[in-house]
Structure formats: structure tokens, C-alpha cells
Structure 1
Amino acid sequence: MAEDIATGRLPEGTRLPPHRELAYQLDVSPNTTSRAYGEAVKRALLRGEVGRGTFVRSTDTDPTQAEPETLRRSDSGPIDLSRNLPMSGFSEQHIRRVMSEIANDTGLRSLLDYQTDADLEHHRAAGQTWLASCGLSSEINCIVPIVGGQHGILCILMALMQPGDLLLAEALTYTPVLAMAARLNLQIGGVAMDEEGVVPEAFEAWCREANPKAFYMTPTLQAPTTVTLSQARRTRIAEIATRFGVILIEDDVFGPLKSDKPEPLAKIAPEAAIYVTSLSKAVAPGLRVGFLNAPTKLAAALHLSVNLSVWMAPPLTLEVASRLIEDGTAAELTGQQQRIARVRQQLVQRILGVAVIPKLSDGFHVWLTLPEGWRADVFTAECARLGVRVSEGRSFAINAGDAPEAIRLCVSHEANEVRLQRGLEIVAGVLRQKPSGSSMAI
């Protein structure tokens, strides 16, 4: 229903059938359709009119005119634009179906026991299919199942690096990587970026002067800036890494959301790059299932690192994910997330303005450079005072002193579009304020 409303298949004002009639049409329980209608009202997709029925809500509806129940729910707690998660609710019915199938399957017993490499063969085959959808062909023996992308990154660092080794990352990067480097006693260096992403010449300078062991990067829908690295820059970076013997750690968890992304680094330089993907951003974060694609020479070390950290990726969740991939459901859910992302990106641009957000990305986050005079910490605090959580740009910086005055907005964690719209309007209102003296950048 949410997808059909977002794509216009169910135009605003459309009168929906009574939930019992819809249950009969779909051959499901009336309780199911009743709960679905309730969830849609909660998300401000529908409105109910006593004596008339249920209608698709207008996108221009004033949030203050929402139904009392919607208002009660939407007013509870801060509006959270700080968590970069996919839209919830799409995967539940499919995962419920697959879990029911597994529960009635004679193979359930084997999924509750320790697994050997041979047992994992069909899970790696599903990973091969998922990797192909990301634009990467892979050999079965080079695929390593992991417990989500973050676990995969930690396993890579554990397998490749020793205390004191130098890890490079983009100057603005995925924050947990900084914590991992500190925990493993690694040095970390920030590679300069511009409006097109990481600068190849800056990477080469690090290679010439400092002997880095690996370079972690998110070339597609970069976290946090949303930049997607061009094919030309990818080729240049792959060439530099190959020449200097630096392993590229390509975090592509956002890749499935990008409809027209360039080739993965792991395809350009298969022996120099480890590719990290997961189902977290496109299917369901709670599954905690992902895959590494490793160069042949590193696959065994990565398998060992996974064994050391968790012994094995949980077979039961791997089986759920594998079935979703194999029957095409994962691809369908990814398509839904892509469409919702576009709709919400357009909402951001409509509320904040084209001058503020001149270019849309395909992902669920927006990088907002603040007007002159605003300090990001003060802007973030003002949003928080007004009930909206955002992420300060400095929290992603390897060198805090070099961080731009910017914030990241995530537009997917809030399922209720009334709350999202209200949060964005608050952010837009703060942007229109004239910074006070204490807000001035130093």
C-alpha cells in the first residue's frame, strides 16, 4: 500500500474498500487488513472519515489536522533524522513467510547445528546471486558470509592488520571504523575529499609517504556526504592501490540503492579489493546478513577471522536471507526501498529548497552544508532543542579540525511521514534563522 501511494498507483483521495472486503479479495484474515489500515493511518498514508470510509491522504495535508490517534503517536519523542536505516515494514510479511517455510522444512535441524564449509555452500551461492545484483561476479570460494557489514569490516581489519599498521579512510567516514581502528591499535589517516569524493592524488601521496596497509572507503552513496565516485576516479584509485600494494576495503552496503552506479572497485581490481555488502540497507537490518567478496589470496584469512569472531554466521538467518535472495523477494524489496528513497529525497528538496539541496541522491541520507555563520554543533543543538535529532558533520571526521560546518539528515528511520515532514520543516526553520554571535564559525 505504501509503495502504491508513493508511486501514484493509489492517488490521493482514493477511497479504499472496507477492510473486510479487502481481506476477502486478498484471501487473508480481516485482522490482517485491519492492522494494515491501522499502520497506514499511523504512517499518515491514509485518513479515516466517520460514515464515509478510508481515503489516501493528501501529501499537502496540514499535520495539525491529522487524526487524534496519529497525532498522539507522532508527538511521542524526538523526531529522529540521525539514524541511517531503511524504511521499516516492507520485509516483515516476507520474512514471516520464509520462517514458516523453514519451520516446516525437514532441513531445519541442520540449521540449528554447527556448520562446515560444505554446509555453507548454498548460502554462498545465494551470496553469489546477491553480489551479481550489485554488479560483481564472484567465485564461490571467494565469498565469506558475515553478520552484517560492520562485522565484515571488523573481520577484514583483524585479518589484514597488525597493531601500528596504517589504515586510510576518507576524511569523512563511517564512524565505527574510527572506533575499530582505536580498539585494534591501528594508526588512521584521512584522505582528502572534494565535491566529487575522495581525491586520487591525495591517496597516492599517502602511499608514497606513509606505507599504508589498507584503504577503507564507501565509493557509492558515500557515508556521510552521499557522493558517488565516478568511474574515472575508481579506475585511478584501483591503479594506485595495485601499484603500491594497498588493499582496498570497498564498503558497498548502500550500493543496492543506487540505480546507475559505476563498476565496483572489486571488479576493476579484483586482486586488490575486498568487497563488503549486506542486506541491511535494502532488505532488513535485523537480519544481520552480509557477504564479503575476497581476492583468492585473502579468502582463507577472512574465513578464519569470521571463525575467530563468531565461529560462523548464524545458519538460520543465512537461510532466511538466502531464500529471500533466491526467490527474488530481496530484489523486490530493494526496488521498494529505492522508490521510497526517491520520494523522500524529493520531499527533502521541496521543504528545504533547491538552493539548499540542489542535487538529489538515491539513498536515505542527505548532506547539508550550513549557511555561512552557522557552526554545526550549535545548529545541531538548536534542532535538538526543537525536538529533532540530526548528526553533526564533525562526528564523521578523522581530523575534527578539518570538518566542514555541515550536518547529515536521514529520512528513512521515521516511518510516519507526518513526523518526517514536521522534522524537515523544523530544520528549514532553523536554517532561516540568523545565527547568534555564539553560533558564528571560528
Structure 2
Amino acid sequence: MTNWLPDLTASSGPLYQRLADSIESDIDRGVIDAGAKLPPQRDLAYDIGATVGTVGRAYQLLRERGLVSGEVGRGTYVLGRQNAKPDFIAPDAQGTRDIDAPRGKLRFDSTAAPDVGQGAIVTEVLSRTASDHAHEISSYTRDFPERWFEAGASWLSRNSFRPSADTIVPTLGTHAAVMAAIAALTTPGDYVAFEHLTYSQISRSAGLIGRRTALVASDHQGLDPDDFERVCAQKHPKMIFLMPTVQNPTLAILPAARREAIARIAREYNVVIIEDDLYGGLTEDPTPMLADYAPERTIVAGGLSKSVAAGVRGGWLSCPPAYRHRIRVAHKMMTGGMPFLLAEVNARLVLTGQAADIRKRAIAEINARTAIVRETLAGFEFKSRDNIPFVWLTLPDPWLSGTFKNACLEHGVLIDDEDEFKAGRSEQVFHAVRFGISQPRQRKDIADGVAAIRRLLDEGRAGYDSFS
């Protein structure tokens, strides 16, 4: 490019953001053509009187918007753009693109159920429900049919755990179930215990409603009961959130002896246990659930998002009967209440056996994709499990988790670094990343994405430069 300079006067904000906005505007208006090479960072920094770091941040922001790509040693080039405004692409006629994937990126940062054709089933159930219950759909839901509780009891049942319908609360997904329990059974200022690495959206959400986080140490087997007892003695948490069967993101399965010890400690210190079994329902793991060891204080939460369809927001929790009314009220206060249409659709999916059938198909697809991962990443340290839609990859030296995430983004793959799963400010460093394998529509996309990850691992940091 020659004789081109960005207009930095048309907007306000940090210089790097104004520079990125100006370049995006010029791309949209055709001033900068697709395929054009942007000026070297040092040259542009000199021309506009900025630092090289400022220009580098602007170029990185353009990469995140899907507008440019950087090639080590060659520079930064403008990508083709079909229209100016949308940052996301719709599916093509064959429905083979990811509807919510940023342009040119593979969505490896989600573990929602893979597309195995469940859309047609859900469409049919939705249509029939709307026809059968037109009056209920037109109003607020005040009375819950017994079948909604029966569906929850059925879906949450695993191994010897068989909750009765009178322990069930239907919820808008597993996340809402857990948050309703926290809101109902703790008060602002109370501590809720979490592992250092976990599904951190819960700790963040709990913080928004005034609960404090207490971190408990874990190892490759899961939560350390001795450290849990230490935290109980020092901080007196009212509740602990756990994923004993397939912990997210480490994939650990808590041994029975540790579950028994945790139940004993929770009973001694009067701690309520939340057992998130969202991934457990995908496994064939025979380990008794925490609820089997401490039924009087354990709340089991689960749903349909990882095995059937995330978009139907199907969830339930099972709790001791004394908690049920409080949690149900808290769920209504925090979510606005259960919509009849979704609750009925989810119940029908479960009670007709269609949800179980979809889960079987989803598991088969996940395992086919897991086989691709295991073959492609052979020789590197990673953890995967049959039936489970994500991988926990330990990075070789000198990779750092955040740097590797950025490198994958540069190569068109969205993954999650370890910080995404930290429940609080933790001194522990794991040098690992998690990537999901369920969201891309085709196995070819899985192969391409994992191949890109493999290339980065093979090349080391010499294969990635944050500055072009």
C-alpha cells in the first residue's frame, strides 16, 4: 500500500481502538482492498506518531474481528469480506458453517451437544406442544404438571441414584439450577467453595450476587479432602460446588474414597454440596454419586445442553425436600420463571425416550471426533475420555496458556486457556488449555482444527509471532 494513512479524528477512545476502527472503515468502503498488505507496524507507527505496541494492538484487534490475517515474516493481509457490518456468518445453504463462529474461525471453545439431526426432532415436538397447549403458552406458568418432575427424576437418575419426583425442581438449564440453589441457601457475604479450576461461570455469577469464593486444592484425582477440611475450618463455607464425575476442565473423576471423605467433612461442618452431573450423564462411570453418601445435604444438577441440545435450555435439580420450595422460588426470582413451552418440550423429549436416543447419537459422534484427536495429537500430553466432548491439553515448554490461545486464534481456532476456568485469583499455574470438539458441524473441521493445534505444538513459539 502506498500513500495511505488512517483517519484517527473520526472517533474517540484509545488510540489502538481508533486505529483499528479506521482501518475497518476503510476496508468496508473499499479504500483498502481484500488481499492488500497493511503497512509494517514500525512504518505505520512512525507515520502516525504512535508506538509499535499501539499499532500491534490495533492489528490484533482487527484479527479478532476476522478482518486480517498475519503471516510470520510476510506481514498482515486484509481478508475478503462479503459485507461490511456482520461479524458473524449465517449457515450456508447446506448448513455446514457454524452459525455463531466468528468469520474464518473454528469454534473449539464450546462443548454443547453436537448436531446429530436433533433439530428436526425438536421442531416436531415444538409444533405438537404448541398445538396441544395453546392456552398455556399464551400465559405465565403458574402450575407445574407432574410430568415435568417425572422427567427430571428420570434424567438425573444414574447408577444407584434414583431421585423421586418430589425432590425435583425444573430449571432453565444446569447453570440456572446451580445459581438458584446458591441464591436460596446462602446469603450475601457467605463463602462458597470451589476448586481452583472449575466451571468458573458459577463462581463469577455467585460473586455478582454477593457471595465470596473460597478455593480448595485439587490434584489429578480431583478435590483434595484434606484441603477441603482446612478451608471449612478456616473460612466456614456454606456450600461447595463440585463436578465429581468428569470435572471441567481437567476430566478428573473423583474416587469413591474421596467422595465419602468429602461427604463426612461436609456433614461435620454443615456444608451443602452441589453436585453438577452435567457430564456425568454422558459417561458409564460406576462410581457412586456424592448424593449417595450425603443425601440429606446434596443437590444434584443436570440438563440437556451437552448431550441433547443446548438451545432448549433443559435442566433440573434434585434436592432434599426441605430445600425444594426455597430453590423453586429463588429460580423464579432470578430467571423470571419457567416458560411453559420449553419445560414441556424438555419433558416430552425425556419421557418419550427421544432425549436418550439423541444422547446415544451424540456420544457416537463425540467418540468419532475423539479418535481424530487421539491420532493427531499422539506423542503430546493430553487427557480425553470416551463420550466427553472436550480435551485437556498440557502444553510443552515454553508455551504459556494464554499465548497458546492467542496463537490458535491466529491460526483460526478458538480454544480456552486455563484462566477461563479459574474460580478466583489462584497462584496455581497449569500450563494447559481446553478445547471442545462438539461444536463444528463436520468431522473435517475437527481434523483441520486439531491439525492446526498440532502444527503449533510441533513448531513451538517460533511458529507464532504476536507482531507482524
Structures share a fold, TM > 0.5? Answer: yes
1:113 to 133, 139, 154: 139
Unaligned ranges ≥5, structure 2: 1-92
Aligned to 2:203: 178
For 1:293, the aligned partner's letter is S
C-alpha spacing 1:76/1:309, structure 2 compared with 1 (3 Å): closer
1:187 to 201, 212, 223: 212
Q: Distance in 2 between matches of 1:370 and 1:355?
A: 8
Aligned to 2:441: 415
Aligned to 1:227: 252
Q: Is 1:294–2:319 an aligned residue pair? A: yes
Q: Is 1:155–2:180 an aligned residue pair? A: yes
Q: Is the contact between residue 391 and residue 408 of structure 1 (CA under 8 Å) also seen in structure 2?
A: yes
Q: How far is the alpha carbon of 1:226 from its aligned partner?
A: 1.3
Aligned to 2:122: 95
Aligned to 2:285: 260
Partner secondary structure for residue 162 of structure 1: coil
For 1:230, the aligned partner's letter is P
How big is each residue's C-alpha offset from its partner over 1:343-392, in whole Å with a ceiling of 9 and x where there is no partner? Answer: 21111110011542365343101111111221111111111111111111
Aligned to 1:429: 455
Aligned identity (percent) is 28
Q: Distance in 2 between matches of 1:437 and 1:317?
A: 47
Q: Distance in 1 between matches of 2:109 and 2:260?
A: 33
Q: Distance in 1 between matches of 2:154 and 2:115?
A: 24
Question: Normalising to structure 1: TM-score of the pair?
Answer: 0.79
Q: Distance in 2 between matches of 1:141 and 1:150?
A: 21
Aligned to 1:401: 427
Q: Distance in 2 between matches of 1:123 and 1:263?
A: 25
Aligned to 1:84: 111
How big is each residue's C-alpha offset from its partner over 1:316-343, in whole Å with a ceiling of 9 and x where there is no partner? Answer: 1111111111111111111111222222
For 1:100, the aligned partner's letter is S
Q: Is the contact between residue 256 and residue 334 of structure 1 (CA under 8 Å) also seen in structure 2?
A: no
C-alpha spacing 1:261/1:336, structure 2 compared with 1 (3 Å): farther
Partner secondary structure for residue 259 of structure 2: helix
Question: Normalising to structure 2: TM-score of the pair?
Answer: 0.74
Q: Is 1:197–2:243 an aligned residue pair? A: no
2:337 to 304, 312, 330: 312
For 2:441, the aligned partner's letter is A
Matched residue pairs, number?
370
Which has the higher mean CA deviation after the structures are superposed, 356-365 or 262-271? 356-365
Q: Is the contact between residue 283 and residue 388 of structure 2 (CA under 8 Å) also seen in structure 1?
A: yes
How big is each residue's C-alpha offset from its partner over 1:22-66, in whole Å with a ceiling of 9 and x where there is no partner? Answer: xxxxxxxxxxxxxxxx859x48xxxxxxxxxxxxxxxxxxxxxxx
Partner secondary structure for residue 213 of structure 2: strand
C-alpha spacing 1:438/1:75, structure 2 compared with 1 (3 Å): closer
Q: Is the contact between residue 98 and residue 323 of structure 1 (CA under 8 Å) also seen in structure 2?
A: yes
Give runs of aligned pairs for residues 275-354 of structure 1, distance below 5 A. 275-354=300-379
C-alpha spacing 1:102/1:432, structure 2 compared with 1 (3 Å): same
RMSD of Structure 2 on Structure 1 (CA): 2.4
Q: Is the contact between residue 126 and residue 326 of structure 1 (CA under 8 Å) also seen in structure 2?
A: yes
C-alpha spacing 1:337/1:261, structure 2 compared with 1 (3 Å): farther
How big is each residue's C-alpha offset from its partner over 1:84-126, in whole Å with a ceiling of 9 and x where there is no partner? Answer: 2110243112112212322332x43234333334x33221111
Give runs of aligned pairs for residues 60-71 of structure 1, distance below 5 A. none
Unaligned ranges ≥5, structure 1: 1-37, 44-69
Q: Distance in 2 between matches of 1:145 and 1:86?
A: 20
Aligned to 2:414: 389
Partner secondary structure for residue 248 of structure 1: strand
C-alpha spacing 1:374/1:141, structure 2 compared with 1 (3 Å): same
Q: Distance in 2 between matches of 1:200 and 1:425?
A: 39
Q: Distance in 2 between matches of 1:200 and 1:219?
A: 12
